[in-house]
Amino acid sequence: MTVLFGLDLRGKSVVIAGAGTVAERRVRRFVGDGAVVTVVAPRVSEDIERLALHGDVTVQRRGIAPEDLDGAWFVLAATDDRSLNDEIAQWAHARRVWCIDASDASRGSARQAAMSRHGETAVGVLSLGSPDPRRIRAVRDAVAEHIDAGEVDLRRRRTGEGRVVLVGSGPGDVGLITVRGRQALSEADVVVTDRLGATELLVALPADVEVINVGKSPDRHPVPQHEINRILVDKARAGNTVVRLKGGDPYVFGRGGEEVHACQAAGIPVEVVPGISSALSVPALAGIPVTQRGIATSVHITTGHAGADPAAVASMAAGATTVFLMGVTALPRIVESAIEAGCDAGVPVAIVENGSTARERVTHGTLATIAGIAAETGVKPPAVIVVGKVAEPGILGTTAAATPEPKGE
């Protein structure tokens, strides 16, 4: 009979015999689980060498010996010698140490499942008969895809400690939320949402998930920030998993820091799931690269609701790409400040409304003309304003110089 267990290897000794392809593939998983990993092998791969260099593993460059298993909690026998792997499994059995025999799983006392992690839940798939790694990986991937698509209700069934998860949902397209963000929504008992971001995802939530809309607009703040903080804390104290669904990234003008601080001050566990910031993604989706070799090598991101601050003005004057969020209402003041500071009135400007959605619209102009064009065409928030040479229509694929630029992310 096969009985499945989950092993907590954090801080525990794991010995890996061998440093070839199999060991290289599995060592990262043990490191990721927080184990104290020792690799014993006469020769090690470059990847394991790098892990040792960074202190993630300890390497003993010699053959494995029985005493290497003394004090270990778990052993992986992954040498290129089948008989040696079987012998290591016997050493482990004598010491009552769990062991995976990479040559023949039936000879070891443990088998490594094909794993996928989904927030607080992990899924593992094992072969119960003759080992079949390709089959179990196929099953794992199919199950993982189903879960990560938001098709499985991951809410806790037992009462537990409440917590808050701040999720950045990206600029609006539901396909641009991160996998972890979507998982968090599947775990939510309560969702506190803004009016921006991937709010279409709320349609797929189970009917009994409580949804609280606290969204703000430029001229209407129905729920003040201190009240949002109170809602998060109170709902979590009641034992709920609370997802704070925010547009873009929680820490880019999203007041995520204030909400995290409120949870920490109240003793509520809090997790932050970064999102794709509209400051970078919306221009990109509209064909505007915020950096381009030989044209723009720096980006300044600022909030424009109060106009252009001195740093933004200096950025525009220096020829950097300057991205304004929440700047539609203050656009005339932004333009005036830039021109008064000596910025070239002919610098291109682009305004992208409702970026990443079916209602996206791009308006082009220059510092001298954009305010008038925006007024005539009825530009409205939410919109991202991009000032700089990169906002010139058709800029993609061009370079102003052959000067090398450091590689990006």
CATH topology of domain 163-276: Cobalt-precorrin-4 Transmethylase; domain 1 (3.40.1010)
Superfamily of domain 280-391 in the CATH hierarchy? Tetrapyrrole methylase, C-terminal domain (3.30.950.10)
Same fold, 13-112 and 280-391: no
Residue with structure tokens 């059995």? 93
Comparing CA positions, the residue from 217, 221, 218, 266 lying closest to residue 242 is: 266
pLDDT at 218: 55
Rounding to the nearest 10 degrees, give the CA dihedral for residues 66, 67, 70, 74: -40
- Where in the chain are the domains? 13-112, 163-276, 280-391
- Residue 256 burial class via C-beta count within 10 angstroms: exposed 0-12, middle 13-18, buried 19 and up: buried
- Whole-structure pTM over 0.85, yes or no? no
- Tokens matching residue 392: 């010139």
CATH number 1.10.1740.10 is the correct assignment for the domain at 13-112: no
pLDDT at 81: 93
Return the amino acid letter for 91. Answer: W
Q: Strand 74-77 and strand 57-60: pairing?
A: unpaired
Strand order across the beta sheet in which 57-60 lies: 57-60, 36-40, 13-17, 74-77, 98-101
Cβ neighbors of 327 (< 8 A, separation 6 or more) are 303, 304, 305, 334, 383, 385
pLDDT at 403: 42
Treating both helix axes as pointing N-terminal to C-terminal, what angle do 179-187 and 133-148 enclose, rounded to 10 degrees?
Answer: 70
Q: What is the pLDDT along the chain (409 residues), one digit of tens a residue?
A: 455 677 889 999 999 999 888 888 888 889 988 999 999 999 988 889 888 988 999 999 999 999 999 999 999 999 999 999 999 999 999 999 999 998 887 788 888 788 888 887 888 888 877 778 888 889 989 998 888 888 889 898 888 899 999 999 999 999 999 999 999 999 999 999 998 889 899 988 999 999 999 986 655 557 899 999 999 999 999 999 999 999 999 999 999 999 999 999 999 999 999 999 999 999 999 999 999 999 999 999 999 888 899 999 999 999 999 999 999 999 999 999 999 999 999 999 999 999 999 899 999 999 999 999 999 999 999 999 999 999 999 887 665 544 444 555 5
pLDDT at 220: 58
Over the stretch 339-356, which tens digit does the pLDDT of each residue have?
A: 999 999 999 999 999 999
Helix (H) or strand (E) run with residue 261 in it: helix 256-265
Strand order across the beta sheet in which 348-353 lies: 299-303, 321-325, 383-387, 348-353, 361-366
Residues annotated as catalytic (active site), given as ranges = 194, 216
Between the CA of residue 229 and those of 202, 233, 310, 323, what are the distances in Å?
Answer: 21, 6, 31, 28
Distance CA 203, CA 207 (A): 9
Would you list the DSSP string of 309-353? -HHHHHHHHTT-EEEEES-STTHHHHHHHHHHTT--TT-EEEEEE
